[in-house]
Structure 1
């Protein structure tokens, strides 16, 4: 694995800056690539008449690999980035030499979760996101301990959320709501895989991370004590160590 670049895809509703706390340690070990996904960060939302789909986000990743001349990579992501990784596996499994899944799940949304995503997408389009989306997301993204003791981390995550375009937020929500269950597809993925989850992750808890690891034939599961959903931001040292140990 050392010769394969590491591509990490960010979570919703953030951008590639979420990897900054890990960037120095990972980049010292391997070539690190952290793109913004469509409609988020510095990547515009392409004009299209198609319904939002993570298949299009996966096509963006494959096109990026083509542009960079990369045949195979270690591909991974956090939360939505994990969902896009699964979409890449469905589209171009030959491009993936190993996998890193962080605070994500293989299962599709429940009917209730899908409805909630679509309602938030509609609100983002009609009202914008300022003043409410960060307040809604922060309790889900960070552990209670981090929210109460690390105001600088809370401010960082808030700034990342509030800097996004409402149209990109809405697109991502609708694309995630439409994603299929990937559990059975993962059973055929015979490459090394690392699954990381925060012990206090309420969105994709350790039980779901365990299901994801169980579906993968060659997976290692790492649970980060005390951490919430955004382990790369909340516990970057532990996440970085887990990735580097696994790469070795």
Structure 2
């Protein structure tokens, strides 16, 4: 064997040994903690006073379902809820914002976040459907929910912005629009604003940003524990390679450790120390349906997200910014930075709430959202 070959062989053995050590440590940790973990989850899920124990998440009615195909060929699943009573924007308001004396019904378009799907807005959809005032459009972003995934490459935010435009072109070809985005959904709206600022103040007459950020995500690591966060950047290439080679194996491991996933979801998604177990389970289910391959291909894009300048386009129409005061994934400071770019925006900080504020404190968010919409519709 040549000297070069010997060095390569030793390098491979060293890496194999390192991976073996990691797997060994993980196995010991799992073996030692699995019993306690499952016992804790069982106790946590037995909350007798859980207000959402009987809630049928993911089973809300719609008037139309369709598939929208983006320019890159990705299929996006869309559901539309029609109003039972038409609500029209005040003519003077529309004239001021759009420069045209016309009055049209606003359509609310909801854009969900990372590792979630349109069900993120379950309680907002339920309440607004009950009221029957607004036409609503919900869709699953690429690689999430019922939408298709990219065949190659990473998920770039500009592509998500173009995906939003494709949905708007297909479902709201005319009339005013209110964009409502949570977490990565808010970033998608920012990417759309960066690409098409002309929509804001003409077609887009208001924007709602929930628990989102204009940048600096590398500082939060999406709420991952400190040890993982510190190791996250150098491990990204390894994660990408691992998912290409054995994504199915990793996904099965995720499902096998669903109890741990449930505990992490409760810890990093919610602000209340004892959130509804049914809500935690619902969010964890949405997380688990997002494949590891999709997660890895989104992470680099999200960590490099920086679109504060794009927020200038949103100044042309009213804006509402909502965040939970205990949000560990996109902390309050990120919403405060958005407010510096949108000084006229309304700001609501919801006490004792984490990242999924619209689920954890649905009544408060619904009250704020409906009040904001009523101002638009006079």
Mean Cα deviation higher: 214-223 or 169-178: 169-178
CA distance in 1, matches of 2:298, 2:287: 13
- The CA RMSD measured in Å over matched residues stands at 2.5
Structure 1, unaligned runs of 5 or more: none
User: Displacement of 1:186 after TM fit?
Assistant: 1.4
Q: Who is 1:11 aligned against?
A: 113
Deviations 1:34-90 (A, max 9, x none): 110000000011323x44311111111101111124344211211111111101111
Match of 1:36 in 2: 140
1:55 to 158, 162, 168: 158
Deviation of 1:119 (Å): 4.2
Aligned counterpart for 1:142 among listed residues 270, 287, 309 = 270
CA distance in 2, matches of 1:187, 1:143: 31
**Alpha-carbon distance between aligned partners in 2 of 1:233 and 1:112, rounded to the nearest angstrom:** 22
Contact map agreement 2:262 2:281 (CA 8 A) in 1: no
Mapped pair 1:184 → 2:300 = no
Aligned to 1:105: 213
Q: Distance in 1 between matches of 2:292 and 2:321?
A: 30
Q: How many residues align?
A: 244
**TM-score calculated relative to the size of structure 1:** 0.87
Shift of the 234–149 alpha-carbon distance from structure 1 to 2, 3 Å rule, reads closer
Mapped partners of 1:69, 1:234: distance in 2: 30
1:116 aligns with 2:232: yes
Q: 1:26 and 1:157 mapped to 2: Cα distance?
A: 21
Deviation at 1:118, TM superposition (A): 8.0
Q: CA deviation at 1:13?
A: 1.1
| Aligned match for 1:64, one of 167, 175, 182 | 167
What runs of 5+ residues in structure 2 fail to find an aligned partner?
Answer: 1-87, 90-104, 222-228
Larger-Rg structure: 2
Q: 1:208 aligns with which of 324, 334, 344?
A: 334
- Cα deviation for residue 144 of structure 1 reads 4.0
Q: Which has the higher contact order (CA 8 A, sep 6+)?
A: 1
Does the 8 A contact of 2:275 with 2:360 survive in 1?
no
Q: How many Å separate the matches in 2 of 1:119 and 1:137?
A: 22
The alignment status of 1:242 with 2:242, answered yes or no, reads: no
Q: Distance in 2 between matches of 1:78 and 1:117?
A: 24
Shift of residue 108 of structure 1? 3.5
Taking the aligned partners of 1:117 and 1:195, their CA distance within structure 2 comes to 30
